[in-house]
C-alpha cells in the first residue's frame, strides 16, 4: 500500500512540473517613442536623436530575428490634434510612413517587416507621436523537475510579403517656359514709329498639350524692351499611383531687334517645385520611381513672333542655360494598415523614400515654347 501511495505522489509531481514547463515565455517589449508637433507630419530629428539611436541599436541586435519574420516591428501612429477623424488618420498614416522610411533607408528593413496601426482618438492615449515596439521573448527558466521534457515556445511567424523595390537614379526635369507678344512695326519714314502694344496675355500651347497649363503676361516698356512673367501649374492624379504636381515661375527681360521688332533676345530665370510619378513626365524617368524636389535655372533666350492679325500673334522661343535640381526619390509600396475597431485591414500605398538630398546639374535647354499671344492697348502689330 505504501509503495502504491508513493508512486501516485511521484506521478502527480511529474505532471505538475510538465504543465508548468508548457507555458510559453512572456514576451518583454522594447518601445521607442518619437514625438511630433501637433497637427504636423514632418519627422524632425531634433528632440528625437536619443530614441532614434536606441532604435538603431535594437534593430542591429535583433536583425536576424526581424529578417526571418520571428520578430515583427510594430509601428503605431498617433494623431488627435486635428478637427476631424479623417485628418487625424491621414496625419497618423504619414507620421508612421516617415518613421518606417528611416528604418528602410538607414537599416535596410523591408515593408514586410512592419505591422502598422493607426490611432486617431483620445481613447488611444491622445498622443502626437509614433511608437516602434519590438516584442522580445523572455529567456526560458531552469526546469527543476527530475524528468525534463523538452519544450519549444510557439512562434507566430507572419507570412512573408514582397520585398521593397530598389529605386533607379533619376533625371531632373527641365524647366519649361514660354514667351509673349507681337511687336510694333516701325512706321514709314516721314511718320514716327507706331506705339507698340502696352500689355500682352499669352499661353504656351506646347506645355498646355503636356498637361502643364501655362499663363503669361508681358509689359512692353518701349518698342525695344519688354518684361514678361510666365507661370505654370499642374495638379493631376489618377489610378496606379499616377500623379503630376508641378509649379514654375519664369521671369524674363527682352530686347526686340531689327526693323519690324519681331526677333528678340532675352535673359531669363526660373524656379519651381515638382512631385511626379508615372504621369506623364514620370514615365520618362523610371516606371517604378517618383521624384519630388525643386529646381532653378538661368540662361539666354531667343525668339521670333509671327503676327497673325492686329490682335493675335504666335511666339516661338527657346532658352539655353544652366539648371540645378535638388530632389528625393521614392517608391510607393502597398501595405496593410489595421485600425482599432475595424474588422478588416485597409490597404494603403506608402511612399518609401529611397534617396534623399540628391542633386542634378546640367547645361542645356531651360525653356521652349509655342505661345499664342493676345495684345492689349496701344497700336496692335500689323502684318
pLDDT at 182: 47
Question: Which has more pLDDT, 239 or 236?
Answer: 236
CA 275/CA 297 separation, integer angstroms: 18
Contact 129, 80 (CB under 8 A): no
Cell digits of residue 328: 528625393
CA 101/CA 95 separation, integer angstroms: 10
Torsion of CA 80, 82, 86, 91, to 10 degrees: -70
pLDDT at 346: 66
Distance, C-alpha 333 to centroid of its chain: 12
Contact 217, 200 (CB under 8 A): yes
Q: Measure Cα distances from 166 to 50, 98, 108, 211, 328 in Å.
A: 29, 18, 11, 29, 14
Q: What is the mean pLDDT of the chain?
A: 78
Confidence of residue 106 (pLDDT cuts 50, 70, 90): confident
Instruction: State the pairing for strand pair 114-119/73-78.
Output: parallel
pTM for the complete prediction? 0.47
**Half-sphere CA count of 306, side-chain side, radius 13 A:** 6
CA 57/CA 70 separation, integer angstroms: 18
The per-residue pLDDT for range 2-39, each reduced to its tens digit, is 666 666 666 555 544 443 333 344 457 889 999 998 88
The per-residue pLDDT for range 255-306, each reduced to its tens digit, is 999 888 899 999 999 999 998 887 555 445 566 788 899 999 999 999 999 9
End-to-end Cα, the chain, rounded Å: 129
pLDDT greater than 80 at residue 192: no
pLDDT at 46: 81
For the chain, list the domains and their CATH numbers.
27-136 (3.30.1330.60), 199-332+351-376 (2.40.160)
The per-residue pLDDT for range 321-343, each reduced to its tens digit, is 999 999 998 887 767 777 776 66
> Kindly report the CA angle at 303 between 299 and 304, in degrees rounded to 5?
170
Amino acid at each position: 500500500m505504501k509503495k502504491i501511495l508513493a508512486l501516485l505522489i511521484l506521478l502527480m509531481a511529474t505532471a505538475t512540473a510538465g504543465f508548468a514547463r508548457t507555458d510559453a515565455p512572456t514576451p518583454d517589449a522594447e518601445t521607442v517613442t518619437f514625438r511630433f508637433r501637433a497637427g504636423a507630419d514632418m519627422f524632425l530629428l531634433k528632440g528625437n536623436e536619443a530614441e532614434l539611436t536606441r532604435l538603431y541599436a535594437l534593430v542591429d541586435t535583433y536583425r536576424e530575428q526581424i529578417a526571418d519574420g520571428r520578430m515583427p516591428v510594430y509601428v503605431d501612429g498617433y494623431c488627435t490634434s486635428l478637427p476631424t477623424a479623417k485628418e487625424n488618420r491621414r496625419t497618423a498614416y504619414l507620421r508612421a510612413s516617415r518613421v518606417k522610411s528611416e528604418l528602410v533607408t538607414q537599416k535596410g528593413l523591408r515593408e514586410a517587416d512592419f505591422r502598422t496601426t493607426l490611432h486617431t482618438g483620445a481613447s488611444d492615449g491622445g498622443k502626437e507621436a509614433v511608437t516602434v515596439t519590438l516584442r522580445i521573448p523572455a529567456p526560458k527558466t531552469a526546469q527543476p523537475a527530475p524528468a525534463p521534457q523538452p519544450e519549444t515556445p510557439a512562434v507566430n511567424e507572419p507570412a512573408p510579403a514582397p520585398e521593397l523595390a530598389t529605386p533607379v537614379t533619376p533625371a531632373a526635369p527641365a524647366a519649361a517656359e514660354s514667351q509673349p507678344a507681337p511687336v510694333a512695326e516701325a512706321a514709314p519714314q516721314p511718320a514716327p514709329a507706331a506705339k507698340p502694344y502696352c500689355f500682352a496675355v499669352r499661353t504656351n500651347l506646347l506645355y498646355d498639350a503636356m498637361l502643364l497649363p501655362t499663363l503669361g503676361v508681358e509689359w512692353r516698356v518701349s518698342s525695344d524692351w519688354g518684361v514678361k512673367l510666365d507661370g505654370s501649374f499642374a495638379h493631376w492624379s489618377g489610378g496606379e499611383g499616377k500623379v503630376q504636381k508641378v509649379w514654375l515661375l519664369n521671369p524674363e527681360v527682352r530686347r526686340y531687334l531689327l526693323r519690324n521688332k519681331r526677333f528678340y533676345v532675352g535673359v531669363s530665370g526660373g524656379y519651381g517645385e515638382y512631385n511626379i510619378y508615372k504621369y506623364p513626365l514620370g514615365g520618362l524617368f523610371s516606371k517604378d520611381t517618383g521624384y519630388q524636389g525643386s529646381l532653378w535655372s538661368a540662361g539666354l533666350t531667343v525668339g521670333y513672333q509671327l503676327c497673325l492679325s492686329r490682335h493675335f500673334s504666335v511666339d516661338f522661343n527657346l532658352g539655353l542655360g544652366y539648371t540645378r535640381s535638388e530632389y528625393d526619390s521614392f517608391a510607393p509600396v502597398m501595405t496593410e494598415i489595421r485600425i482599432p475597431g475595424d474588422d478588416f485591414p485597409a490597404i494603403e500605398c506608402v511612399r518609401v523614400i529611397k534617396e534623399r538630398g540628391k542633386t542634378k546639374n546640367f547645361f542645356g535647354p531651360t525653356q521652349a515654347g509655342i505661345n499664342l499671344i493676345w495684345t492689349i492697348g496701344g497700336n496692335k502689330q500689323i502684318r
